[in-house]
Amino acid sequence: MNPPPAAPALFINREVSWLEFNGRVLAEAFDNRVPLLERAKFLSIFGTNLDEFYMVRVAGLRRQVAGRFSNTSPDAMSPRDQLDHIERRVREMLAQVQGLLEDELLPALAERGIRLVGMHEVTVEERRGLDAFFESQVYPVLTPLAVDPGHPFPYISNLSLSLAVGLRDPERGVDRFARVKVPKSLPRWVPVPGRKHEFVPLEQVIGAQLGALFPGMQVIGWHTFRITRYSDLEIADTEESEDFLAMIEEQVFQRRFGEVVRLEVQPGMPAAVRKLLLEELRETDEGESLTLTEADVQEHGPMLDLGDLMSMAMLDAPELRDAPYTPIVPVPLREPDRSVFDVIRERDLLVHHPYDSFTASVEQFIEAAARDEHVLAIKMTLYRTSGDSAIVRALTTAAQRGIQVAVLVELQARFEEVTNITWARTLESFGVHVAYGLPGLKTHAKVALVVRREADGIRRYMHLSTGNYNGKTARVYTDIGLFTCAESIGADVSDLFNLLTGFSRQRVYRRLIVAPTGMRERVVQLIAREAANARDGKPARIIVKMNALVDKESIDALYDASQAGVQIDLIVRGICCLRPGVPGVSENIRVVSIIGRFLEHSRIWHFANGGSPEYYIASADWMPRNFSRRVEVAVPVEDPALHVRLASLLETCLADDRQAWELGPDGAYARRRPETDTPHASQASFLRDSWGRGRNSGATASATANANRPSEVFG
């Protein structure tokens, strides 16, 4: 029996919670314990996060308002309420950003020799060098676009930086307007000749040379602006892969013309220019007005597009960045005379990225399979992969060697569609069987299957993960991967790939928990079992690590378990719609968010199960989209020795008092403060003592496992 639904006041709004997550990212840019260039990196991440939020979430809310939808979220906020809150909160954040840049971050960087300078600050000789750069590298790329009766207002691409130029025709005495796009193909920060780590913004280099673009005209002034367009895909159901591929390509193309949802402008832009931009960027959708208003205009300081700070954060100044680290090769994979298949056949293996090497584990697994004469088939899901991917190269090698290779490429991975289409066609050209997923669903599961003929018959080797098969993000995202050759899991994985590449109505699996055919139901059952155990006086405990908690049914079940006396710890990096610590409802629930050097991305579920602990790793967060609109997989980790590792990981995260924030019942987060002079930073702990080093592995000593039973670790 499901618990009764909780009242709206017990839910935090999804968009409000996301904004506070981005606020925690911004807080890292304010934290003087973080190296200076890393602070610039966090400011860049804050900016790009906000861009995507407007492209998708704010755009969706604006469409709801325009369509006069009155539906409310579980917390009872209407679309209009949410937009009003977003506008107020974002303006507060942007004011903080400008204060940080102007009063603290840029001056501190300047003291360490990294400076942004204006054209008015360079010497005559340096100006000659910048002029030469403009003439040879910039001028040929620029296309000045006039606006007058013979020249309609130009198309402006999403997130592009532009100059709004005021001109006067001296012969006619008429004022004119023109737009000049700042090209993304050129570096935003132009080095000042002869000065190390000193730069002029590209828009200033262009602004200083507008006379060359408009000869004979008088330049009255120029100001930068930037727009954000609606950029989500709208996919109709289709049964044919070729139709699906063509549809995605068409949608990616059409996305360029989505309605404008935000206008960012430089301070001091004349009112007439602001008005012109607002009027010309007006859009309609099926007769409903989506007109921009002043509420949709954000006035920044002199710097627009904070995302470009990332290139500055990557400067070669090691003293201003985090200390470099080298991922560890897991001990079992270091023996040169043993193959990765020998290791997995001996016992299951867990890896924890980025601390454990992705190259020496996951990529080695696929590369070894591609070269192995006993391998018959390789099957994989690819949601987001990196350019020039070692995994893609291995798959093409395997196909050329006659191994049957089947890959599910998810074309709907947001903002990765073009990359995935390119890789899909590359794979097909080498003879790889490529499928594009199921109609109406994204395939978000991270699964690889290798089928191998051995002396005792056919054996299946699997890798199941919380993260993507992407060597670049594997260095900055924390993820867990499981290597296993368990027969029951192998049978489930085979059934899953039959579902993804063929025709199947598979709904029941042996060991895997699969969405959308029952993951939500199983999660609610697991929570309810803990509640029942607590009421019966049996050991009951829930610890879940994930990126987001939004699903109402899961939250209702957690509230019920809390009221039954279950102690619940939730490690939720981003959105959390549950209110912890509410008397009589959720006083047994604690929520922490960890923000640090690496993006916390792993999903781990722990249930005490009356004294027989269960652990799962999963590709899914607890959100409606993951449970209902995606193919997701959770896999049990069954080796008790590996339970010790997961227990230690969760315990380390819960003890964090350096990077952790606690969520209060009022929806506000408070940063934990160290109680001693030696703060406990979970990510630093994992860097010092990764699983790959062989410590606390439980792999060779059952005594260690007995002494650290999860039920004792978690009380």
Third-level CATH fold of 34-320? polyphosphate kinase like (3.30.1840)
Q: How far apart are CA 597 and CA 518, in angstroms?
A: 35
pLDDT of residue 230: 86
Q: How far apart are CA 689 and CA 627, in angstroms?
A: 34
pLDDT of residue 268: 87
The CATH H-level superfamily of 331-501 is Endonuclease Chain A (3.30.870.10)
pLDDT of residue 370: 97
pLDDT of residue 420: 67
CA dihedral sign, ordered 386, 601, 320, 99? positive
* Model pTM score: 0.90
pLDDT of residue 302: 76
pLDDT of residue 526: 98
Give the chain's end-to-end CA distance (angstroms, integer): 28
For residue 502, report the phi and psi dihedrals to the nearest 5 degrees: -125, -150
Nearest Cα residue to 687 out of 598, 592, 593: 598
- Please state, as a whole number, how many other Cβ atoms lie within 10 Å of the Cβ of residue 341: 21
Residue 57 CA neighbour count, 13 Å, CB half: 16
Q: Look at phi and psi of residue 581 and say left if phi exceeds 0, alpha if psi is from -120 to 50, else beta.
A: left
pLDDT averaged over 10-residue windows placed end to end, the chain, 715 residues: 75 96 97 96 96 91 79 84 94 94 95 94 94 95 83 85 92 89 94 94 96 92 93 54 54 63 91 89 53 85 90 94 94 92 96 96 97 96 76 93 92 60 80 82 94 96 96 94 97 93 79 95 98 98 98 97 98 97 97 97 98 97 95 96 96 96 96 90 93 53 34 35
pLDDT of residue 153: 84
Q: What is the DSSP string of 25-68?
A: HHHHHH-TTS-HHHHHHHHHHHHHHHHHIIIIIIHHHHHHHHTT
Cβ distance 428 to 463 under 8 Å? Answer: no
Q: Cα–chain-centroid distance for residue 297?
A: 26
Q: Where in the chain is the domain with CATH 3.30.870.10?
A: 331-501, 515-713
Burial of 495 (0-12, 13-18, 19+ CB in 10 A): middle
Per-residue burial over 586-624, b = 16 or more CB atoms within 10 Å of its CB, e = otherwise: bebbbbbbbbbbbbbbbbbbbbbbbeebbbbbbbbbbbe
User: What beta strand segments (E) does 603-687 contain?
Assistant: 604-607, 614-618, 630-636, 660-663, 669-671
Strands of 115-116's sheet, edge to edge?
115-116, 198-201, 189-191
Nearest Cα residue to 409 out of 442, 439, 367: 442
pLDDT of residue 287: 39
Nearest Cα residue to 161 out of 183, 132, 138, 134: 183
Which class is 515-713 in CATH?
alpha beta
Q: Which residues pair with 191 in a beta bridge?
A: 199
Cβ distance 516 to 498 under 8 Å? Answer: no
Q: Where in the chain is the domain with CATH 3.30.1840.10?
A: 34-320
Cβ distance 399 to 462 under 8 Å? Answer: no
Type of residue at 463: H
Please give the positions annotated as active site.
Answer: 444
